Amino acid sequence: MTISAHTIQSTKGTRRSSKRLGRGNGSGKGTYAARGLKGQRSRSGGKGGLQRIGFKASLQKIPKLRGFKSLSVRKEVVTLETLNRVCTENDVVTPLFLHKKGIIDHPQKGVKIVATGALNKKLTIKDCLASKGALKKIEAAGGQLVF
């Protein structure tokens, strides 16, 4: 690498310290302290605010978030048709059982069984919620819901 002005590493004493403002006329930056004469920018607090102008324009382009997002965790939904396809007679259906079968991803979220499709196997459903229609179909097939 060739040596040029921008590749020289600064060592002690090679960097010039900045002039301190407002330390008397003998310092070279006295009286108005390099702020000029009158005006907003010559006064204390007169330089702020200008940095945010560009940010405000970009902030206004972002669309507002509308609606409502619930903090409660939604249960995983399983249909009766899926249970009829996956389960055998007299199975005990739990969230862990459904997870092992690959039907749901997160058993800790809980499971709700909905009445889509038909069920013609006797099943015992444990630790799951069920809709009213699903409960009727489960009991009609000879199964039961246990909490």
- pTM to 2 decimal places: 0.55
Q: Checking phi first, is residue 10 left (phi over 0); if not, alpha (psi -120 to 50) or beta?
A: beta
| β partners of residue 77 | 112
Domains, in order of start, for the chain: 25-61 (no CATH), 76-146 (3.100.10.10)
**At 64, which amino acid appears?**
K
| 96: three-class secondary structure by DSSP | helix
Q: Give the residue carrying structure tokens 């060739």.
A: 2
Between residues 2 and 118, which one has the greater pLDDT? 118
Q: What is the pLDDT of residues 125-134, one digit of tens each?
A: 999 999 999 9
At residue 116 the predicted structure's pLDDT band, cuts being 50, 70 and 90, is: very high
Q: What is the pLDDT of residues 75-111, one digit of tens each?
A: 999 999 999 999 999 999 999 999 999 999 999 999 9
Q: What is the pLDDT of residues 46-63, one digit of tens each?
A: 776 655 667 777 888 888
CA dist 136 → 5, 82, 114, 144 (Å): 85, 17, 11, 10
Task: Enter the DSSP assignment of 135.
Answer: H
The sheet that has 144-146: what strands, in order across it? Answer: 92-93, 124-126, 144-146
